[in-house]
Amino acid sequence: MSTPRDVTVFYDDRVLAHQPDVNTAFLPGRLDKRIREILQGLEVKWSYPEHPGRLTAIMEKLDNQPIPGLRFARGKPATRKQLARVHTTGYLDHIFELRNQNAWLDVDTTAVSPGSVKAAEVAAGTAVAAVDAVCSGDTESAFAVVRPPGHHAEPARARGFCLFNNVAVAAAHAQAHHGCKRVLILDWDAHHGNGTQTMFWADPDVMFIDIHRRAPFYPGSGNLDEIGAGLGEGTTVNIPVPAGTGDVAYLKALNEIVTPAARAFQPDMILVSAGFDAHWHDLALNVSYEGFAAMAGIMQGLADALCDGRLVYVLEGGYHTESLACGVHAVLEVMAGKTPPQPGVCGVEEVDAAIAYHRDAFLDPDRPD
């Protein structure tokens, strides 16, 4: 029998102001001309995949299929001090100079529009607000529905649609402001969280665990032997998987790697970089909605057992709006108290039903096997 839990969704519509223009020229010296020639030759109209519709789809799903007991709260912009805990001063200066501009920051699709810097500040600050609410006891757990995403953003570089590393800002805030000495970050996005890994590479007080599609899939990092360095050696845990990986492998990783690692680390708080591009609609991996929900159940159990339930999700990727909205909804249902499902291997239930339906047409019950 499920037990209702107190969960808050943090969302601020100022993050919708991030709307890059794909026709803006790249930075000098980049591959602007060659890339445009390729696209023109293919006669393909390319649009920016990380768009406001991702979040409006999530909020519309929650409005149309409300989850009992779910509360909503508004976010806030991150302060420069909060951002500077994980990003360099020079990088922040550079990003802030881009207010009210259209510009590409790199060739791997990271761009800004006039409202992007404020949106990025609000995204990071909304993750901070979620941490504040959980640590102060205002809510048992929280989900920050934010964009632009953050886990590719490095200390001094924007990458992969990401400007500020939202989950890293939230983790550093939990340590500095709430006394959470040890923070565990699980990243289940299909893409490796290279930025988060870099930020905490040598930090023994942040354990970063990442399940992702293996290189050469973007961003090409996250190999098995990338385990951190110095005092932080062993607190970076990478689990690279091949294309097609689905529920069974993901849950095996959570049960047999994430769970013992978390128990050994004994975190004061758990953060999840929750990307939903591991769903098959995004053509990277093969996780189902039930798989995401089951993973949420495992993480809730770890948070309850290890850190008084302190658990915050921060949205990362997921570019097919239907699977993104449904995946977030499935996770929130479990966070709110629904009993986690036990996913099977995709298609087996349907084949069993077909076997039962067709059995009499092809099998003679009186004929010996």
| Percent of all residues in the chain with a pLDDT value above 90, rounded to a whole number | 80
Domains of the chain (ranges, CATH numbers)? 7-350 (3.40.800.20)
Closest-CA residue to 145 (of 169, 166, 164): 166
Catalytic member of 152, 192, 279, 320: 152
354 has pLDDT over 70: yes
Average pLDDT (274-300) is 97
Strands (E), 37-112: 71-73, 103-104, 111-112
Structure token digits, residue 333 = 């249902």
Average pLDDT (262-287) is 97
Structure token digits, residue 107 = 């060739």
* pLDDT for res 31: 46
CA-based torsion, 204, 210, 214, 215: positive or negative: negative
pLDDT in tens, 151-170: 999 999 999 999 999 999 99
Phi, psi of 96 (to 5 degrees): -65, -30
Closest-CA residue to 81 (of 136, 130, 121): 121
Concerning whether 94 is annotated as a catalytic residue, the answer is no
Average pLDDT (322-338) is 98
DSSP string, 88-106: -HHHHHHHHTTTT--EE--
Euclidean distance between CA atoms 174 and 202, whole angstroms: 18
Structure token digits, residue 99 = 């207010």
Q: What is the DSSP letter of 313?
A: E
Euclidean distance between CA atoms 303 and 364, whole angstroms: 54
Categorize the per-residue pLDDT at 348 as very low, low, confident or very high, splitting at 50, 70 and 90: confident
- Angle at the Cα of 296 (from 193 to 208), degrees rounded to 5? 30
